[in-house]
Each structure stands twice: as C-alpha cells, then as structure tokens.
Amino acid sequence: MMGGQEEQPGVVEEATVEKVLKRSSSVVSEKEVTLKDLARSMANFAAEREWDQFHSPRNLLLALVGEVGELSEIFQWKGEVPRGLSDWNDADKEHLGEELADVLLYLVRLADVCNVDLGDSALQKLQKNARKYPL
C-alpha cells in the first residue's frame, strides 16, 4: 500500500505520523475520527517518505481502483451475504476492515491532492440527496 518501494533509512525527522496517530488514537476513544485527521496523516506519511512524487491524481485513482478490486475479491464467490456478516470469522472480518480502510485512505488522499474538501463535499451531497428524495 501507499506509494513506492523507496525507503529512506536513517532519516531523522520528527515522527509526525506517530504524533498524528497518537492524536488520532485519543480521538478514537471519543469515536471521532475525522476526514481531516486522515488526510493529514496521509499527507505526512507521504511527505516523510518522499512519496509525493508518486501521488499524482491519476496514480492515486488507479491505486483506489486496485483496492476496490481487492475489496470485491472478498465478496466474489460468496453469493449474497447477510447484513452484519454474523457468520464470518474474525480473520475474514479483519481482512474486510483492511480493504475498506485501503479504499478510504486512497480516496482521502486523492481528494486531498485535488484540493477537494471531502468532508464538505460529503455533507453537500447528503443535503442534495435529501432534496432529491424528500420525505
């Protein structure tokens, strides 16, 4: 995942990712993971590894498509599955969580490099949908 094979051993930068993750962790306990937190984490992660060069819009879009493919593979031979996935074992559920996360992280990153505020866009879309399908 993420964007390149290159690593930069020995680079002594501040551990921005760790800090963000720590902050995010406290956020988790309050169940308040925000899209901005994720965008910031991804941006720092890429910058620290000099991966920005790989994170062009179309590269990230294709990476997103790749992750959607992996998500689909989880469901491909199963026929219809019930909501809640009550009969899935823990390993399968964890795998699913990882693939859903991968799609989300690339989506967040794609929006970010396109200067799109994804949270704003989502709220606007919800409002548009509410107007389109009134109660």
Write out the binding residues for a second copy, residues 51-80 only, by CB under 8 A.
54-59, 61-73, 75-80
What's the rounded Cα separation, in Å, for the pair 25 and 42?
Answer: 15
| Segment 12 to 41, residues that bind a second copy, using CB under 8 A | 13, 15, 17-18, 21, 24-25, 28, 31-36, 38, 41
In the complex with a second copy, which residue's Cβ is closer, 89 or 115?
A: 115
Distances (CA, A) of 43 to 14, 40, 60, 82, 103: 14, 5, 13, 36, 16
What's the rounded Cα separation, in Å, for the pair 120 and 125?
Answer: 9
* Cβ at position 89, least distance to a second copy in Å: 13
Residues 97-126: x where in contact with a second copy by CB under 8 A, - otherwise, as a string: xx-xxxxxx-x--xx-xxxxxxxxxxxxxx
User: Which one of residues 89, 90, 91, 129 is an interface residue with a second copy (CB under 8 A)?
Assistant: 129
DSSP string, 82-116: -TT-TTS-HHHHHHHHHHHHHHHHHHHHHHHHTT-
* Cβ at position 131, least distance to a second copy in Å: 11
* Cβ at position 70, least distance to a second copy in Å: 6
